[in-house]
Amino acid sequence: MSILRKVIPNCPLSADIVLVSSDRHRFGTHCRNLGEFTGGFPVDIAPVNGEDVPMPGLDSKALALFLQYVHHHRQPDLSGVCFESLSQLAEAVEKYDVYSATEICKVHMRSHVENHCVEVFQYASKHGYRKLMDDAAKIAVQKKYLNSRIAGVCIRPDLQSAWVRTFPLGHYEPRADLRLFSMQSRYTDYWLGLFSDCYDEPPPVLHPGGTPDCKFWRKFRNVVVSQVRRELTIFSTFDKIVEDAEHHLKDCRHCGICARKWTERVARQHGIGECMTPFTSFLY
């Protein structure tokens, strides 16, 4: 049997219950504290006949953090905690209703949204944090994760029916929330539509003889479109892309006018990232 660990070395209470982490580390703690500081353990919880109580989903680092929130003790500093341990802790304090920790865990989960947008989206959608869900979705859709990875984590455990959706490359995800899938598809369509001005060339400026364009325009257009990325930064860099490609127009004045109209139209979209329709508004 492994050594019994204590997270608060000078705690005056005797351990009367043992919690076991997913990596099989044993922690002694107190029934009284579990009942007092959580909503997930009964207030009058009694020792379980000396049996260890497994804590699935919490490795030793996360369980040690969790137990610090159920003591009359200074709460831990989460700023240096790795994302894996933080995400386990954040789920555990939600599951066991450790209300003293839910908000601070949400704050720190938000700080990881840039690098872990899919995991943060899953956490936020599971626990009803709509603003955090919006922030994660906005980042994920720019990284092309929304169609596959985020759709794949939208699982409703209360659904018994098996829903099947085809993803790119033939990937399937069973038991998914169809409502979130539908919302995700509409959000993706909305996102792709933001960039239509970058891909759709403006109406032509008639050349001498009434022709809509000259032989130089096609090459210019193809070069511009090939450099467009569906990222919000494109609205501030599109003019530079056009400028760098203008030599393909061979000083054609009429095509130059059309190119400037294209640039002006895209420039009007600058700042659209700040006023994007949030992901949760697509819920119905």
- pLDDT tens digits along 156-167: 432 222 212 333
- How many separate domains does the chain show? 1
The answer as to whether 59 is a domain residue is no
Quick one: average pLDDT of 190-209? 89
74-103 confidence digits (pLDDT tens): 999 999 999 999 999 999 999 999 999 999
Instruction: Considering only CA atoms, give the Rg of the chain.
Output: 27
Task: Give the CA angle between residues 140, 142, 146 to the nearest 5°.
Answer: 40
The answer as to whether 223 is a domain residue is yes
Q: Which neighbouring-strand residues pair with 5?
A: 27
Instruction: Specify the pLDDT at position 11.
Output: 82
Instruction: Specify the pLDDT at position 115.
Output: 93
User: What residues contact 51, with CB distance under 8 A and at least 6 apart?
Assistant: none
The answer as to whether 177 is a domain residue is no
Domain of residue 257 covers 197-268
The answer as to whether 214 is a domain residue is yes
78, 108 Cβ separation under 8 angstroms:
yes
Residue 177 has pLDDT above 80, yes or no: no
Regarding beta strands 4-5 and 17-20, do their DSSP bridges make them parallel or antiparallel, or are they unpaired?
unpaired
User: What residues contact 138, with CB distance under 8 A and at least 6 apart?
Assistant: 273, 276, 278, 279
The answer as to whether 240 is a domain residue is yes
Instruction: Specify the pLDDT at position 180.
Output: 59
The answer as to whether 252 is a domain residue is yes
Residue 280 has pLDDT above 90, yes or no: no
The answer as to whether 174 is a domain residue is no
279, 137 Cβ separation under 8 angstroms:
yes
Instruction: Specify the pLDDT at position 12.
Output: 82
Residue 173 has pLDDT above 50, yes or no: no
Residue 49 has pLDDT above 90, yes or no: no
Phi and psi angles of residue 5, each rounded to the nearest 5 degrees, phi first: -100, 150
The answer as to whether 256 is a domain residue is yes
**Matching residue, tokens 């403006």:** 202
Length of the chain, in residues: 284
52, 26 Cβ separation under 8 angstroms:
yes
Residue 58 has pLDDT above 90, yes or no: yes
What's the pTM? 0.76
**Matching residue, tokens 């899938």:** 181
